[in-house]
Structure 1
Amino acid sequence: MLSTFSLHQLGWRPEYARHLTLDDFEAGYPARVAAVHRGGLDVFSSRGHGTAVVPHHVNADAGIAVGDWVLVEHEADRVIRLLDRQSLVARVAAGEGHRRQSIAANLDVLFIVSSCNGDFNPSRLERYLALAIDASIMPVVVLTKADLCDDAGDYVAMAERLAPSIAVVALDATDASSVEQLAPWLAPGRTAAFVGSSGVGKSTLANRVIGEAMQLTRDIREDDARGRHTTTSREMFPTAMGAWVIDTPGMRELRLAAPSPDLGAVFDDVESLASQCRFRDCRHEDDAGCAVIQAVVEGMLDARRLDNYRKLQREAARAQRNQREEREHGRQFGAIARRAIQAKRERLEQ
């Protein structure tokens, strides 16, 4: 495996240099973030593998993410600035807070991993699909453990019904020839990430694509499909095919972070029915003349799918509300800080 990479091999695109000047290139060099630690970053660049510290003045939406491009000072190994992103997968961090958390940046494809057993959850897949499509990233549904079920085709059909235009692949993550089905999305210079719940074989699949077991995995009990995630941090790895893979910890709680996600791309059937409702502000609950509810009653629309659509809508509304509150909090804090600085200046002038 190579230890140094050209910018092209790292996935560099002309768009990343759009806002860089000659002075920027004289001050620093582009590097891609391979891992994020409390003490700084691991980066890949044409110089090879290195580290860089992040000054407090370098701001990023929801924090610098694995896959980001940064400009690093030539001599000091210090980040000068974060380059504009082509895409960002983010979530509302687990817990009671509203903090947005970056997961991966500048992705070309998001492999949404589930399995052909009790872990298969249509609502969870819809959530991941909405996340990917909203970030303008190509989603691919990957169903593992196809070799351990009686008919993997049933699971493939269920996944395809969620979003007919999305590719669905069923495979055995432990078999190299089976994993080769992912090759069309792993061309040189492209970047992919694997997301999915704990225990579905996500890290096993990522390790197989990477070409070596760079992270420990644990067996899961097939009788109840339970397991623990063993990847403890997000990290980017090169593959023998020339692509890059970002592996992520299993995410037990994934809430949408976008204030206005494009749910219509995943729930086009629901939104098409909604356009037929009598009232524009129909809540699709108990409103008279609701075409969506009527479709559920007549068996034309799955009630589970409608419930999940409503749930994601509520989360999007909550994210929008939280974003407004954070902006207002920042505005108030800025005003207080300016008044304090002005008061200090006046005291010094007396």
Structure 2
Amino acid sequence: MSGSNTSSSLERLGWSDFFADQVNPSEANLAPRRVASVHRARLEGIDAQGQAGLELAANANTADYAVGDWVLADPLTDVVMRRLDRKTLLQRHTEARNGQQLAAANVDTLFIATSCNADFNLARLERYLIMAHQAGTTPVIVLTKADTAPDAEDYHRQAMALKKDLPVVVLNARSTDAVEILKPWCGIGQTVALVGSSGVGKSTLVNTLAGSGSDTAQKTGTIREHDAQGRHTTTARSLHPIAGGGWVIDTPGIRTLYVSDVTDGIDILFGDISDLAERCRFRDCTHVHEPGCAVQAAVASGQLDAERLGRWRALLEESRSRTPVQTGPRGNKVVRRNKY
């Protein structure tokens, strides 16, 4: 870990004082390595010299690691000794599993990809934005396949309306111009992650960002014309270098994104509704029928879109119903999951 050249190379991988400050003096002989991919039974890593081995202890589980994690490994055996605290963590609740599924760690910017066709869905985009805000990462909506849409500007306008000052870019994932458009978020040492449903061009965009000389090209697939749905061409999360600097994490296509325990993320995304709710006459206003409701007044005046209010209500209810709660007598509480 000593030496300015090693430190500089690590910084190109995303290493910063946030991680360096966590290393104890007794761990100075351990090697910082970044998790590049997570498989069912193994991890792959990178360090300042390139690809690096990562061996898990006998009692360790790959499910506890996310692509983008920083770990300290024994340089002789490659055994992971400790995972460092994460700066940001993208995770999602799944129907089939208890708890959260780790998606990516230490991500600076989340590119939320959707295409200008039947895949475009405001409710789904809001879920991704909530995920980004809850994780503490910066969201950017990436509209793909605009060259095939006669009304791409309408998609752009709808996306811009989701949140004030939300970055929304329009591009062709196959064009080298995409690299220049996304350059503000892809600097040296910066990490971006790509999320979106299958068929929107995530893997194509990863390949474009990585450049033609990349030896880690992602497979790409076709989409069905009638509903714009595609096949899952990415089956595992992985970290790829961006030509000219930075790193990009591709993720498998997500058809359903549930929200759980994300009240803070919802409040950030729907800050306009939260501000209005503070002006209601009653503190426990449900914003349905109470007199003096500022939220309903905003709907009536056209200031607030009724459909947006409906999506906010649905997300709050889903988050509450899916969030684990503690129940039982004092000193013997258990975690219970509500059924949605």
TM-score range, shorter chain: 0.7 to 0.9
1:343 corresponds to which residue? none
Structure with greater helix percent: 1
CA 1:34–1:257: 2 relative to 1, 3 Å: farther
Q: Distance in 2 between matches of 1:330 and 1:46?
A: 48
Q: Distance in 1 between matches of 2:85 and 2:128?
A: 24
Q: Distance in 2 between matches of 1:110 and 1:79?
A: 27
Do the aligned partners of 1:261 and 1:316 also contact (CA within 8 Å) in 2? Answer: no
Q: Distance in 2 between matches of 1:330 and 1:227?
A: 47
Q: 226, 243, 246: which one pairs with 1:243?
A: 246
Q: 48, 51, 54: which one pairs with 2:53?
A: 51
Larger radius of gyration: 1
Q: CA deviation at 1:315?
A: 3.1
Classify the secondary structure of the residue corresponding to 1:7.
Answer: helix
Larger displacement relative to structure 2 (251-260 or 147-156): 251-260
Q: CA deviation at 1:146?
A: 0.8
2:111 corresponds to which residue? 111
In structure 1, give the amino acid aligned to 2:54. A
In structure 2, give the amino acid aligned to 1:24. E
Classify the secondary structure of the residue corresponding to 1:225.
Answer: coil
Gaps (5+ residues) in structure 2? 1-7, 336-340
Classify the secondary structure of the residue corresponding to 2:142.
Answer: strand
1:34 corresponds to which residue? 36
Classify the secondary structure of the residue corresponding to 2:9.
Answer: coil
Q: CA deviation at 1:94?
A: 3.4
**TM-score computed with the length of structure 2 as normaliser:** 0.87
Percentage identity across aligned positions? 45
Q: Distance in 1 between matches of 2:40 and 2:177?
A: 38
2:154 corresponds to which residue? 154
Gaps (5+ residues) in structure 1? 334-350
1:129 corresponds to which residue? 129
CA 1:6–1:257: 2 relative to 1, 3 Å: farther
Residues 263-296 of structure 1 deviation map (CA, whole Å, 9 limit, x = unaligned): 2321122112211212112222333432223333
CA 1:147–1:183: 2 relative to 1, 3 Å: same
In structure 1, give the amino acid aligned to 2:110. L
Question: What's the Cα RMSD here?
Answer: 2.5
Kindly indicate whether residue 315 of structure 2 is the aligned counterpart of residue 312 of structure 1.
Answer: yes
Matches within 5 A, 1:267-282: 267-282=270-285
1:82 corresponds to which residue? 83
Do the aligned partners of 2:134 and 2:262 also contact (CA within 8 Å) in 1? Answer: no
In structure 2, give the amino acid aligned to 1:41. L
1:254 corresponds to which residue? 257
1:214 corresponds to which residue? 217
Do the aligned partners of 1:91 and 1:102 also contact (CA within 8 Å) in 2? Answer: yes
Q: Distance in 1 between matches of 2:228 and 2:264?
A: 31
Do the aligned partners of 2:326 and 2:333 also contact (CA within 8 Å) in 1? Answer: no
1:200 corresponds to which residue? 200
In structure 1, give the amino acid aligned to 2:133. I
Classify the secondary structure of the residue corresponding to 1:49.
Answer: strand
Classify the secondary structure of the residue corresponding to 1:130.
Answer: helix
Q: Distance in 1 between matches of 2:246 and 2:225?
A: 31
Do the aligned partners of 2:261 and 2:320 also contact (CA within 8 Å) in 1? Answer: no
Larger displacement relative to structure 2 (40-49 or 84-93): 40-49
Classify the secondary structure of the residue corresponding to 1:206.
Answer: helix
In structure 2, give the amino acid aligned to 1:220. I
Number of residues of Structure 1 aligned to a counterpart in Structure 2: 323
Kindly indicate whether residue 23 of structure 2 is the aligned counterpart of residue 20 of structure 1.
Answer: yes
Residues 43-78 of structure 1 deviation map (CA, whole Å, 9 limit, x = unaligned): 001243123122366689x72100000011122211
In structure 2, give the amino acid aligned to 1:53. E
CA 1:54–1:199: 2 relative to 1, 3 Å: same
2:338 corresponds to which residue? none
Do the aligned partners of 1:39 and 1:53 also contact (CA within 8 Å) in 2? Answer: no
Q: CA deviation at 1:83?
A: 0.2
Q: Distance in 2 between matches of 1:331 and 1:14?
A: 39
CA 1:235–1:323: 2 relative to 1, 3 Å: farther
Q: Distance in 2 between matches of 1:76 and 1:191?
A: 28
1:72 corresponds to which residue? 73
Kindly indicate whether residue 235 of structure 2 is the aligned counterpart of residue 232 of structure 1.
Answer: yes
CA 1:263–1:332: 2 relative to 1, 3 Å: closer
Q: Distance in 2 between matches of 1:67 and 1:79?
A: 15
In structure 2, give the amino acid aligned to 1:52. L
Classify the secondary structure of the residue corresponding to 2:91.
Answer: strand
In structure 2, give the amino acid aligned to 1:142. V
CA 1:17–1:258: 2 relative to 1, 3 Å: farther
Q: Distance in 2 between matches of 1:187 and 1:33?
A: 20
CA 1:329–1:70: 2 relative to 1, 3 Å: farther
Q: CA deviation at 1:257?
A: 4.1
Do the aligned partners of 1:234 and 1:248 also contact (CA within 8 Å) in 2? Answer: yes
Q: CA deviation at 1:223?
A: 4.4
Classify the secondary structure of the residue corresponding to 1:6.
Answer: helix
Classify the secondary structure of the residue corresponding to 1:8.
Answer: helix
Q: Distance in 1 between matches of 2:58 and 2:209?
A: 36
In structure 1, give the amino acid aligned to 2:71. V
Q: Distance in 1 between matches of 2:73 and 2:145?
A: 42
Q: Distance in 2 between matches of 1:155 and 1:204?
A: 21
Classify the secondary structure of the residue corresponding to 2:112.
Answer: strand
